[in-house]
Amino acid sequence: MKKQHVSLTAADKDYLEELLKKGSLTAKMFKRATALLEVNRGKTLGAVAQTLGVSYQSVSNWCLAYNTQGLLMLKDQPRSGRPIKIEGLQRAKITALACSDAPKGHSRWTLRLLADRAVELGYCQHLSHDYAAKILKKMN
């Protein structure tokens, strides 16, 4: 006898089928929803993994997540990590500063000069010249 990994409620099954019909899902959500429906229909985890081009462990994890979280598992959970310290407005001000005229006594902005001036003007608490370079590199 096969082990039933997921047992979808009728409401969840209908919701997933409607979601797949819309066609406006991210690839992750599509694969997760499809996997849940296929496992619910009785397919093995290995067969579903092979069909979707993911690992067996991924399908197993999705089934476990559904059993604990329900349909919330379709979306990614917030990831841990260092929060962004310099927001978009601050980045824009630093970029505008770099595009402005160089300070007196200098022919052009250097990264160290730019970083020091941004801190002086209160755009941010701390800014290294390396991070100033990354900010400018991301801007067009």
In which domain, by residue range, is 116 found? Answer: 88-138
Does 67 lie in the same domain as 36?
Answer: yes
Q: Whole-prediction pTM value?
A: 0.59
Does 96 lie in the same domain as 51?
Answer: no
Whole-number pLDDT of residue 3: 67
Domain count, the chain: 2
Residue 62 belongs to a domain: yes
Query: Mind listing the pLDDT tens digit of every residue in the chain (140 residues)?
Result: 456 678 888 999 999 999 889 878 889 999 999 999 999 998 999 999 999 999 999 999 999 999 999 989 998 888 888 877 888 899 999 999 999 999 899 999 999 999 999 999 999 899 999 999 999 987 66
Take residue 124 and report the two structure tokens written for it.
């941010």
Whole-number pLDDT of residue 1: 41
Residue 60 belongs to a domain: yes
DSSP 76: P
Q: Which of 44, 73, 92 is nearest to 100 (CA)?
A: 92
